[in-house]
Amino acid sequence: MVHASAIENEEYGLWVDGTERPADDGETLTVEDPATGEALTCVAAATEADVATAVSVAATAGEEWGATLPKERSRTLLAIAEAIREHAARLAEIETLENGKPHSEARDQVRRCARHFEYYAGEADKLEGDSIPLGDGYVDYTVHEPLGVTAHIVPWNVPIYLFARSVAPALAAGNTAVVKPAEETPIGALTVARLAEEAGLPSGVLNVVPGDGVEAGAMLTAHPDIDCVTFTGSGATGREVAKSAVSNVNEVHLELGGKSPLLVFPDADPDRAVEETVRGIFTNAGQVCSASSRVLVHEDVHDEYVKRLADAVEGLSVGPGIDDPDVGPLVSDEHQERVGEYLEVGRETVGEPLVGGAAFDRPGYFVEPTVFDHVDNDSRIAQEEVFGPVLTVGTFTDESEAVRLANDTRYGLVAGVMTRDVGRAHRVARDLEAGQVYVNEWFAGGNETPFGGYKESGIGRENGRQAIHNYTQLKNVCVRLD
């Protein structure tokens, strides 16, 4: 077993009630390094009894945490943010080792994790209600109250940041949390939970129960004492999560991926268009829900754009994330096989790729950065989420066709527009069916900007001031004065 410096334990337990403990039946899961395929460590695999214990602990802790003054919750979240920053180097190394992403990307995600706790520390004491004028004789007002115990199912692609994205606003609003990290990447979540406890978060407020990707998550979402479920992942699993949550009449928030279009108009800066395309699709080896996996370029500039794009992609370095290349490995052998199947689909329906198109014949789960050109918008690789370093390029003739093709998908997470024409930018942004539109920069915005999807890309919004309301219920109080 590889014992990397940032992975301190040969075996990690569950984190429940402020302590590390083994699973009820002693079972564990193995966490691999995607760059080598070798084992990094083992982690306890939560049973149904473990999940029930974590939920019970969270419910008990919520009685005190929910009654804590908002300004005190704010100070605690600020302390957590500071602890994350103090341990940023180690957390980034953990993210790289268990996920595989380039180290610079991991460092950025850790910074965003800390910023998220900092941001919602600022929101904790600003959950203000409204006064509703009902006329003489009445005083009417609203109050935001915590929901209770919140469940968070976190994916493997951006594990530390996505942990913070839902947990921070939930805690800020006065809820307690039980987190089920992905079985491939549990160490970051366990480490942040321990740091939160050391920073002053009361025991039991934040609990982490790693386990089987399907079984442990299902046990958590089906638990009758869960009051809210937040899930990021595939559409198929998201539907099951939603059914489970609805059966318990719970709040549910889903972020289910996308097939996000980037529209390149003739007046776009050609260098920037290529730069943003490459960043949008090959960050984290394309394992990003909001990846720019589908480019639509105006036919007049297609040839020049594609030539520049091919040159840029062929120049990308690929290697272990710890060496900080441009592109790291995929997360697992299973996922490498899935992406490989899409490469074959592309060959069968489109032809040989312009660039790339194969897995590397070496240890680890590496796939070449790949571009398919002249792709029909209705083909499988243009419609289905590959979730890997695979880009499709198609063309359009005018603005209306660009919008039509962009919207011709069941997803609607994000979209991008490359143009120097301000009027066009606003027109197209208005007409695109996406929860977030980037203009002249992919991944624009940050922790402060609402993020979520239209259509099958999900329900609800993360980030920004809107997200904290995911974790509150609204009470109206009407007082007759006479």
pLDDT in tens, 88-139: 999 999 999 999 999 999 999 999 999 999 999 999 999 999 999 999 999 9
Q: How far apart are CA 458 and CA 231, in angstroms?
A: 9
pLDDT-above-70 percentage for the chain: 99
Q: How confident is the model at residue 244 (pLDDT cuts 50, 70, 90)?
A: confident
Name 416's bridge partners. 262, 438
Q: Which amino acid makes up residue 459? A: I
Which of the residues 98, 183, 255, 385 is marked catalytic?
255
The dihedral over CA atoms of 209, 215, 218, 224, expressed in degrees to the nearest 10, equals: -70
Distance of alpha carbon 122 from its chain centroid, rounded?
22
Q: Provide the CATH number for the domain formed by 11-256+459-476 in this structure.
A: 3.40.605.10
Runs of H (alpha helix) within 100-177: 103-123, 159-172
The tokens of 330 are what? 């995929």
Q: Is 128 tagged catalytic?
A: no
Burial class (CB in 10 A: 0-12, 13-18, 19+), 264: buried
pLDDT-above-90 percentage for the chain: 91
Q: Are 301 and 393 in contact (CB under 8 A)?
A: no
Give the number of other Cβ atoms within 10 Å of residue 75's Cβ: 17
Is the pLDDT at 4 greater than 70, yes or no? no
Stretch 286-292: mean pLDDT? 97
Contacts of 122 (CB under 8 A, 6+ apart): 74
Which of the residues 32, 93, 184, 289 is marked catalytic?
289
Residue 51 sits at the vertex; the CA angle it makes with 180 and 332, to the nearest 5 degrees, is 35
Hey, where are the domains in the chain? Answer: 11-256+459-476, 261-455
Q: Are strands 414-418 and 411-412 parallel, antiparallel or unpaired?
A: unpaired
The average confidence (pLDDT) of the chain is 96
Q: Are 411 and 429 in contact (CB under 8 A)?
A: no
Which CATH number does the domain 261-455 belong to among 1.10.10.60, 2.40.50.140, 3.40.309.10, 3.30.450.20?
3.40.309.10
Q: How far apart are CA 22 and CA 98, in angstroms?
A: 20
Tell me what pLDDT residue 1 has: 38
Q: pLDDT tens digit string along 161-213?
A: 999 999 999 999 999 999 999 999 999 999 999 999 999 999 999 999 999 87
Q: How far apart are CA 235 and CA 115, in angstroms?
A: 28
CA distances to 122, 222, 451 from 465, in Å = 10, 28, 11
The owner of tokens 């046990």 is 219
Q: Is 289 tagged catalytic?
A: yes
**Which segments within 102-242 are labelled E, that is strand?**
131-132, 138-146, 149-154, 176-181, 206-208, 228-232
Q: How far apart are CA 48 and CA 180, in angstroms?
A: 12
Q: pLDDT tens digit string along 24-80?
A: 999 999 999 999 999 999 999 999 999 999 999 999 999 999 999 999 999 999 999
Q: Which amino acid makes up residue 354? A: L
Stretch 225-232: mean pLDDT? 95
Is the pLDDT at 9 greater than 80, yes or no? no
Q: How far apart are CA 366 and CA 36, in angstroms?
A: 10
